[in-house]
Amino acid sequence: RLFNGAINDAPALQTQFPNTGLGDQLRTVARLIAARQSLGVKRQAFFCSLGGFDTHGEDQLADQGDNLENLSGSLAAFYNATVELGVAAQVTAFTASDFGRDLPANGNGGSDHGWGNHHLIVGGAVDGAKLYGTFPTLVVDGPDDSGGGRWIPTTAVDEYAAAFARWFGVARGELPALFPNIGRFADN
């Protein structure tokens, strides 16, 4: 009852979101952020999902293009909504995935599971327009290929997650309890 009342009483957003599943999810998150004071929360975390990237035997080029267009439009609208709400510097959106794609086509119009991946981080406090890590040499059997066209990432998921844990207030000395491998990386 409190939750529904807070959401319904939140100011209407002028930002237009794409009429997609991800657009709808991020519109709801923006509404929850708008209702944060009524809900009495100071720090919120949300999870949204966009499937369709597991393209083993499909038209990967078209499917990935459609998914990335959806992601781009939805994240842009979400960022614009945070600007509208005056909280852009306090909100960070980021992508995450459990796997990437390997480099060679698999003969079925797609590619198979890879190891490394690229991710996006968006928000008013993000020091943007930068590439973190090292862009791999995209050559099968090249210097960054671990075998079969699966390139080796230069930034570990542990490092990525530890940065957000720090934002949530986890002390640097407590990171090894959450991320046992964090000590293997130079910048933790």
Q: Give tens-digit pLDDT for 36-65.
A: 988 988 888 999 999 888 887 767 778 888
The overall average pLDDT reported for the chain is: 89
* From 1-10, 103-112, 178-187, the region with the lowest mean pLDDT: 103-112
Whole-angstrom distance, CA of residue 124 vs CA of residue 140: 37
Interaxial angle between packed helices 60-85 and 21-34, expressed in degrees from 0 to 180 and rounded to the nearest 10: 20
Whole-angstrom distance, CA of residue 15 vs CA of residue 157: 32
Q: Give tens-digit pLDDT for 93-128.
A: 999 887 788 888 888 878 888 877 888 889 998 888
Pick the closest to residue 99 from 116, 112, 119, 118 (CA basis).
Answer: 116
Helical (H) or strand (E) element with 93:
strand 92-94
